[in-house]
Amino acid sequence: MKNNVISVNKRKIYVSILAGGQGTRLWPISTPQYPKPFVSLGPAGTLYDGTLTRAWALEPSCVVTIGAGGLRGFCDRGGADFLEEPAGRNTAAAVALAAAHAWSKVGEDGLLLVLPADHYIPDAGDFSRTVFSLARTCLDQRALGVMGIRPSGPETAYGYIEAAEPAGEGFRVRRFIEKPDRAKAEALLKQGNFSWNSGMFLYPLTILRQELATHCPGYWEACQSWLESGDPEPYLALTSISVDYALMEKTSKVVMVPADFIWSDVGTFPSLYALLPKDDEGNAGWGPGRVEECTGCLIVTRKRETLVRGLTGHVVIETESGLLVVPLSKSDGIRNAVESILSGA
């Protein structure tokens, strides 16, 4: 079937934005009280607001943010509805909840687009073109869909997708690979047919419901109980597991379209540093503090009475929630220390 035969009814698109996480990956910019999607990242803006802008640019039937009740106040903007989870049960449950809700809003022939709330994608036009390319491919191939990111290096923080034969405007997916070590990541890139797993999915609802029934039995019914009668118990009993593990790695009905846009999940300080504009000395950041004789640093200050001087390749973050000073090259290894600080240990 030729690609131009496939048409996508925008009014059948239901966009689900998944809001969650512990808020510790960019501490102390983000915290459990002020998670990453909702805090300002200086020149990069607020990731959640950017996600809303891209979602509405698609002209969908509706945009719905899914998350714990405590996030409602953060999400009450941009025209999106809010769908509360009884409790966090990872992305498999959240996707099933979005699907059951979408079924009631746009019908069984609808398309569910799942977007994390905390991705940085500066070009909404390129994003929209990729979404509609993936939608046409999913409808043509009667398959679930994922956007693949073209790797810029042997990254170990992302899962990988192996492309098989061409399908529609993309490829059939041979397999998903969980976050590899560096040696394996380098080997995957040499093969030339691997993409990063973006965590952005598009699902024809009828096919998704069938595949959930096969690989995630009970999830649809648990979500219906919550939506229709307000009974949280079946949802609370669901296994906390990602949609990648629970569904995407098990089903054989998956297609991938390579993403034609700049993308970051802004999950580390090096990734934040990479997307920010730099001064003549290669420094990035924001805030009223003074910076002198620094090179290649990421510096965020809260007070005018702050001086950062004579550093090379460091992260310096000063907020009301804490102070972090660490070499940029070692900033990926602070998670355990941060969790210890936050727990009071």
- Tens-of-pLDDT digits for all 345 residues of the chain? 344 568 899 999 999 999 977 778 899 999 988 999 999 999 999 999 999 999 999 999 999 999 999 999 999 888 899 999 999 999 999 999 999 999 999 999 999 999 999 999 999 999 999 999 999 999 999 999 999 999 999 998 899 999 999 999 999 999 999 999 999 999 999 999 999 999 999 999 999 999 999 999 999 999 999 999 999 999 999 999 999 999 999 999 999 999 989 999 999 999 999 999 999 999 999 999 999 999 999 999 999 999 999 999 999 999 999 999 999 999 988 888 998 998 887
Q: What is the pLDDT of residue 221?
A: 97
pLDDT at 5: 64
Q: What angle do CA 72, 263, 278 make, to 5 degrees?
A: 100
**What's the pLDDT score for residue 271?**
94
Full-model pTM: 0.94
